[in-house]
């Protein structure tokens, strides 16, 4: 079954690097381990994200072993677990609330850097908000002053035929709203 490519679906209105158009969030993962070198390259990119006052409030909890991935599976919601169980690595992204009011914003930048580096290395990432945060905090011994943002599946893309029929229909890059819907000059404009 041929894969739909981002080039067929995504077109930028202004000049941007092709990595922004090629990166998307597939759910079909190949049964292939991610090397430590490649995984830590992705995390290294996140390390260099900008942060307010250089506080770097992000933390990454990585699950690469079968045992650690199963621990993560215990708090991931069924709709996500059905496909992410094949991902060779999972990363929980959290941020330290004690680092100030921009901790979530800064951590989002780190996630963006992480996803782009993975795409540059020929890997895929898919961030999931569908997980039980209280269960994750307990299972991973996370202190109360951390906010849990997303679990990210990291690996290599497999053919979508490995997914259920329902997920196969969704397994394609999505487009984006035009800038005319998200950019305003001078003041907020009610749409």
Q: Would you give the DSSP letter of residue 134?
A: H
Domain presence at residue 97: yes
Q: Give yes or no for residue 119 having a pLDDT over 80.
A: yes
DSSP state string for 98-165: GG-TTHHHHHHHHHHHHHHHHHHTT-EEEEE--B-HHHHHHHHT--TTEEEEEEEEEE-B--GGGS-H
Lowest mean pLDDT among 5-9, 160-164, 166-170: 5-9
Q: Percentage of the chain surpassing pLDDT 90?
A: 93
- pLDDT band, very low/low/confident/very high, at 170 (cuts 50, 70, 90): very high
Q: Does any domain span residue 127?
A: yes
Domain annotation covers residue 191: no
Tell me: the pLDDT tens digits for 25-51?
999 999 999 999 999 999 999 999 999
Query: In which order are the strands placed within the sheet that holds 58-63?
Result: 58-63, 89-96, 146-155, 124-128
Does residue 67 fall inside a structural domain? yes
Task: Please indicate, yes or no, if residue 130 is contained in any of the structural domains.
Answer: yes
CA distances from 73 to 77, 78, 136, 151, 164 (A): 8, 9, 10, 10, 19
Decide if 9 is inside a domain. Answer: no
CA 153 – CA 90 distance, rounded (Å): 5
Q: State the residue range of the domain holding 89.
A: 29-159
The pLDDT, as a whole number, for residue 6 is 66
Residue 16 falls within a domain, yes or no?
A: no
Q: How much of the chain is helix, strand and coil, in % rounded to 5?
A: 40, 15, 40
Residues 99-118 pLDDT 10s: 999 999 999 999 999 999 99
Span 57-80, mean pLDDT?
A: 98
Question: Using 50, 70 and 90 to split pLDDT, how confident is the model at 2?
Answer: very low
What are the φ and ψ backbone dihedral angles of 128, each rounded to 5 degrees?
A: -125, 130
pLDDT score of 171 more than 90: yes
Number of domain units in the chain: 1
State pLDDT tens for residues 4-28: 566 678 899 999 999 999 999 999 9
- Is 76 strand, coil or helix? strand
Closest residue by Cα to residue 46 from 63, 60, 25: 60
CATH code of 87's domain: 3.40.109.10
Residue 178 lies in a domain: no
């Amino acid at each position: 079954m041929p894969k739909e490519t981002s080039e067929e679906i995504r077109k930028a209105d202004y000049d941007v690097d092709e990595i922004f158009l090629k990166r998307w969030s597939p759910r079909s993962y190949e049964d292939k381990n991610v090397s430590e070198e490649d995984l830590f390259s992705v995390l290294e990119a996140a390390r260099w994200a900008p942060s307010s006052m250089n506080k770097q409030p992000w933390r990454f909890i990585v699950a690469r072993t079968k045992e650690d991935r199963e621990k993560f599976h215990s708090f991931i919601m069924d709709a996500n677990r059905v496909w992410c169980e094949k991902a060779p690595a999972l990363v929980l992204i959290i941020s330290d609330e004690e680092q100030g009011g921009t901790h979530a914003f800064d951590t989002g930048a780190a996630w963006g850097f992480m996803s782009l580096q993975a795409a540059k290395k020929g890997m895929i990432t898919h961030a999931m908000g569908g997980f039980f945060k209280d269960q994750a905090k307990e299972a991973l011994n996370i202190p109360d002053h951390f906010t849990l943002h997303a679990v990210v599946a990291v690996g290599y893309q497999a053919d979508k035929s490995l997914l259920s029929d329902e997920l196969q229909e969704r397994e394609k890059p999505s487009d984006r709203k035009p800038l005319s819907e998200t950019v305003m000059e001078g003041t907020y404009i009610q749409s």
